[in-house]
Structure 1
Amino acid sequence: MAEQTAPPQPAAGPAPAAGPRTGKPDSAVVRDALGVGIAVGLSGFAFGVTSAGAGLTLLQTCVLSLLVFTGASQFALVGAIAAGGNPFAAAAGAFFLGIRNAFYGLRLSQLLALPRWLRPLAAHWVIDETTAVALAQPTRRQVRIGFTVTGLTLYVLWNLTTLLGALGAEAIGDTDAWGLDAAGPAVFLALLAPMLRTATERAAAGLAVVLGLGLLPVLPAGVPVLVAALAAPAVLWLKGRSLGGDGGTPAAGPATERTKGQDR
Structure 2
Amino acid sequence: MPRTTAKSYFWKGCRNSLPFIFVAGPFSLLFGVLATEAGLKLYEMLTFSASVYAGSAQFTALQLLREDAPTLIILASSLAVNLRVGMYSASLTPYLGAAPLWMRAIVAYFTVDQSYSLSVAQYELVPEMTLSERLAYFFGTNAIIAPLWYSGTLVGAILGTGIPESFALDFALPIAFLAMVGPMLRTPAHIVAAFVSIIVALLCVSIPYNLGLLVAGTAGMMAGARAEQFLISRGVKI
TM-score range relative to shorter protein: 0.7 to 0.9
Alpha-carbon distance, 1:61 to partner? 1.9
Counterparts in 2 of 1:74 and 1:102: CA distance versus 1, 3 Å = same
| Runs (5+) with no aligned partner, structure 2 | none
- In 1: Cα distance, 2:224 partner to 2:17 partner: 36
In the alignment, which residue of structure 2 is the partner of 1:222?
210
Question: In 1, distance between residues paired with 2:80 and 2:117?
Answer: 20
Distance 1:56 1:182 in 2: 23
User: Using the alignment, how far apart are the partners of 1:136 and 1:236 within structure 2?
Assistant: 21
- Aligned counterpart, 1:77: 61
Q: Select 2:33's aligned residue among 44, 49, 62.
A: 49
Identity of aligned residues (%): 25
User: Is the counterpart of residue 88 in structure 1 residue 79 in structure 2?
Assistant: no
- Check conservation: 1:46, 1:180, Cα contact below 8 A: yes
Cα distance change, pair 79–211 in 1 and its aligned pair in 2 (3 A)? farther
Question: How far apart, CA to CA, are the structure 2 residues paired with 1:51 and 1:90?
Answer: 15
Cα deviation for residue 182 of structure 1 reads: 4.4
Is residue 37–residue 153 contact of structure 1 (8 Å, CA) maintained in 2? Answer: no
CA distance in 1, matches of 2:189, 2:29: 35
Pick closer, same or farther for the CA change 1:185–1:88 going to 2, 3 Å. farther
Distance 1:96 1:135 in 2: 22
Larger-gyration structure (1/2): 1
What does residue 6 of structure 1 align with?
Answer: none
The structure whose RCO (Cα within 8 Å, separation 6+) is larger is: 2
Distance 1:211 1:86 in 2: 24
> When the two structures are superposed, what TM-score results if normalisation uses the length of structure 1?
0.73
Alignment partner for residue 109 of structure 2, among 107, 121, 124? 124
Aligned to 2:156: 165
Contact kept? 2:192, 2:224, Cα under 8 Å: no
Q: What do you get for the CA RMSD once the two structures are aligned?
A: 3.0
2:18 aligns with 35
SS at match of 2:208: coil
Which digits, 9 at most, give the CA deviation of each residue in 1:46-95, with x for residues without a partner? 22122223333322221121011011111222233335544432321111
Contact in 2 for aligned 1:76/1:93 (Cα 8 Å):
yes
Retained in 2: the 8 A contact 1:48–1:166?
Answer: yes
Q: Is the 8 A contact 1:50 1:181 kept in 2?
A: no
Structure 1 position 237, deviation (Å):
6.2
Quick one: distance in 2 between partners of 1:93 and 1:194?
Answer: 26
Q: 94, 98, 120: which one pairs with 1:135?
A: 120
TM-score, normalised via structure 2 length: 0.80
Give the corresponding residue for 2:139. 148
